[in-house]
Amino acid sequence: MKQQQPEEHIDAPPGIPHPERRPRRRRRRSDFLAGFGVREAQSLALALIQPKMEQQEEEDDAVQTRVTSLIDFDKFYFESYSHLGIHEEMIKDRVRTDAYKNAVEYHADSIRGKVVLDVGCGTGILAIFCAQAGAKRVYAVEASNIALQAKSVVTDNNLSNIIMVLHGRLEDVEINEKVDVIISEWMGYMLLYENMLGSVITARDRWLRPGGLILPSKATLYMTPFTHAKRYHEIIGFWNDVYGIDMSAMLPLAKQCAFEEPSVETITHENVLALPHEVKCVDCYSITIPELESVRNKFKFYSLAKAPLHGFAFWFDVDFNQPVSPKPVSFHLPGSSVDKDPVVSTIKNRRDPALLLSTAPERPSTHWKQTLIYFYNPIELEKNQLIEGRVTLSQSQDNARFLNINLAY
């Protein structure tokens, strides 16, 4: 496809860089996470330093509380995870939780009798899975106040002699020994939103023994063009006829309000217009923090059907094994070239489903769903039409938890 539009972007409020887009929120699109929208970026980016407070510790307490200086957006970020609803939604996501439980059980021989670090433990469920698998000791680190409930959960399950809940940022807690295993559910929308992977990298570099295990070990972000005429009409079509009144003059504003930010929705393989493209593969054993600051990738697709192109969809897979090469493709359409490629098919079939967590459109839905970037105006595609361009994902200079998206096609 030729450059029908040089950039897909919208004007941002004063002081907010553009062309950029940000996924609205992590997981639960509730009011208490509303601060992660574009409109709040200015206030969250003030980087005000909170005063340090005295740390109070009790040697016989399983929780180490550490109140450290936080910039405003981190303070808000951790406060949002103090709400129970977000943890309930994550645990109820059986695809997610079962994948982690299966991975812990699969790697039980590497966990039994070993020291484990859970980065961002939340309610403590992953730490408990590791304790049940025979871990000698588990350090469960959680910056939000849900750590207080996590401690009670650990006590109620008679695991206080194994699991130590450390209340504080991963970057600030003290662990006086090396660990054999790091486990974390760090993935955000579009994989990299929230920038929690940086904490996992910090934990790896500070405490992981050589040859230690990281769960998950690899993550891959994909993108593909999509069509979604029904959804587009639901959002926009209303204004064409309101009680017999022509309100089409509202359409430009309606499109801006609906599509100025990425949308987290569930699509199926029927919405997918091309085979997926790998945007970024993350090897958790070797990725560095500077690599996360900006991800640039060129893409090229050939449309599988004649249909309106409504935008681009993003999703990710995570693997709970050592990285493999060549990289397997996690999503394909029946009868596609993936099925006909014996090398790719062999790798794909060799992967143990228990060791893969996928948020792909053809897989059971998760709370991550897929992240969709809608065009304001659909583009009519012919079958086999070329779609090419580039995508850049970068951390916001105002708030490192935000993910800026620059899309040119």
> What is the pLDDT, as a whole number, of residue 81?
72
* Alpha carbon separation from 198 to 73, 159, 211, 295, 301 (Å, rounded): 16, 29, 20, 14, 31
**Are 151 and 273 found together in one domain?**
no
CATH number, domain containing residue 387: 2.70.160.11
Q: Is 185 a catalytic site residue?
A: yes
> What is the pLDDT, as a whole number, of residue 195?
84
**Are 137 and 237 found together in one domain?**
no
What is the residue range of 398's domain? 219-408
Contacting residues for 42 by C-beta, under 8 A, at least 6 apart: 13, 15, 16, 398
Choosing from 8, 20, 142, 185, the catalytic residue is: 185
Transcribe 326-338 into DSSP letters: SPPP----TTSHH
**Are 138 and 246 found together in one domain?**
no
Percentage of residues in the chain with pLDDT exceeding 90? 63
**Are 227 and 140 found together in one domain?**
no
Domain count, the chain: 2
**Are 365 and 304 found together in one domain?**
yes
In a domain, 8, yes or no: no
CATH number, domain containing residue 122: 3.40.50.150
Rg (C-alpha) for the chain, rounded Å, is: 22
> Higher pLDDT residue, 398 or 1?
398
Query: Can you tell me the distance from the alpha carbon of 173 to that of 288, in angstroms, rounded to the nearest whole number?
Result: 20
Give the strand order in the sheet containing 63-65. Answer: 63-65, 163-167, 137-142, 115-119, 179-184, 208-215
In a domain, 32, yes or no: no
**Are 271 and 359 found together in one domain?**
yes
> What is the pLDDT, as a whole number, of residue 33?
30
* Alpha carbon separation from 177 to 174, 207, 294, 388 (Å, rounded): 9, 7, 33, 49
**Are 248 and 396 found together in one domain?**
yes
Contacting residues for 70 by C-beta, under 8 A, at least 6 apart: 49, 50, 78, 169
Q: pLDDT per residue over 267-309, tens digit each?
A: 999 999 999 999 999 999 999 999 999 999 999 999 999 999 9
> What is the pLDDT, as a whole number, of residue 398?
75
Q: pLDDT per residue over 136-190, tens digit each?
A: 999 999 999 999 999 999 999 999 999 999 999 999 999 999 999 999 999 999 9
Q: pLDDT per residue over 11-45, tens digit each?
A: 333 333 333 444 433 444 332 233 223 222 222 22
In a domain, 238, yes or no: yes
Assess contact for 197 and 220: CB atoms under 8 A. no
Pairing of strands 218-226, 307-319: antiparallel
In a domain, 372, yes or no: yes
**Are 105 and 231 found together in one domain?**
no
In a domain, 151, yes or no: yes
> What is the pLDDT, as a whole number, of residue 78?
66
Q: Is 265 a catalytic site residue?
A: no
- Structure pTM? 0.77
Assess contact for 355 and 370: CB atoms under 8 A. no
Query: Can you tell me the distance from the alpha carbon of 3 to that of 247, in angstroms, rounded to the nearest whole number?
Result: 31
63 pLDDT higher than 60? no
**Are 239 and 353 found together in one domain?**
yes
**Are 138 and 180 found together in one domain?**
yes
> What is the pLDDT, as a whole number, of residue 9?
39
Mean pLDDT over residues 198-215, rounded? 97
Contacting residues for 81 by C-beta, under 8 A, at least 6 apart: 87, 122, 142, 143, 144, 146
In a domain, 274, yes or no: yes
Q: Element (H or E) spanning 126, and its range?
A: helix 125-132
Q: pLDDT per residue over 240-257, tens digit each?
A: 889 999 999 999 999 999
> What is the pLDDT, as a whole number, of residue 352?
67
**Are 138 and 247 found together in one domain?**
no
Choosing from 8, 20, 142, 194, the catalytic residue is: 194
Q: Which of 185, 202, 230 is the last residue of a domain?
A: 185
Transcribe 9-44 into DSSP letters: -----TTS-SS------SS---GGGGGGSGGGHHHH
**Are 178 and 286 found together in one domain?**
no
Q: Which of 170, 185, 200 is the last residue of a domain?
A: 185
